[in-house]
Structure 1
Amino acid sequence: ASLQARNKAGKYIAAICAAPTVLNRAGLLEGRKFTCFPGVEEQIAAGDHQTDLVVVDGNIITSRGAGTALAFAYALVDLLGGDGQQLAHTMVYDRLFK
C-alpha cells in the first residue's frame, strides 16, 4: 500500500535519518512534528522540525539517525504494545547516559 493509504488508515509509519524526506514528498508531514538527521530538515518544506531523538506525532514516528536507532526501537516497542522501558533496562540502555 502507498504511504498515503497507510496514513489514511491510521497505520504506523516510521522513518529514521534522512527518510523523513520521503514522508515530506508523500505529503505526510503537513502540520506534523518530526525529526531527522541534522541538516536534512533543510530539505523538508512541511512540518515542525524537532531536535528530540525520537518524535511521535500520531501515527508518524521519526528519529534522527543510526546513533538513535535503539531509542527509536524502544519507542516502536512501546507503540506496538510492548514495554520499551523494560527492554531498555534489560539491554542496559537505560544506564548508558547516567
Structure 2
Amino acid sequence: MKSKKGQVGLEGITKFIVGALVLAVTVIAVFLALTSLQNAGIFTAGSQAANDTDLIIGNVTTGATQFFTFIPTILTLLGVVLLMIAIAVLIVVVRRAGGAGTGGGL
C-alpha cells in the first residue's frame, strides 16, 4: 500500500468535485424529464398540473444555477482550509525536528 503522506485534503477535494458533478448530472436529468413532461401535452393549458410543472421547472433551474454560481466561493474556502492545514502540519514538523536534535551553536 502506498503512503499518502503529503496529500492533505486531496481526497476531500476529489470527493467534493465528484459529488458536484453527480449533482449536476442529476439536475440535468430532472430538468430534461420535467421539460419532456411539460412538452408531452398531457396537461391542459392553464390547469393546476401544468402550472405546477412550470413552477417546478423554474425552481429546479433557479436552484441549480444559484448553487453552481457559488462553486468558486466554496472551492476558494476549501483552498484556504487546505492552506491552513498545510501550515499547521509544517509547524508541527518543524517543532518536532527542532526538539529532536541537540543544540549546537556557532
TM-score by length of 1: 0.24
Larger Rg: 2
With CA pairs under 8 Å and 6+ residues apart, which has the higher RCO, 1 or 2? 2
Higher share in helix? 2
TM-score (norm 2): 0.23
Higher strand share: 1
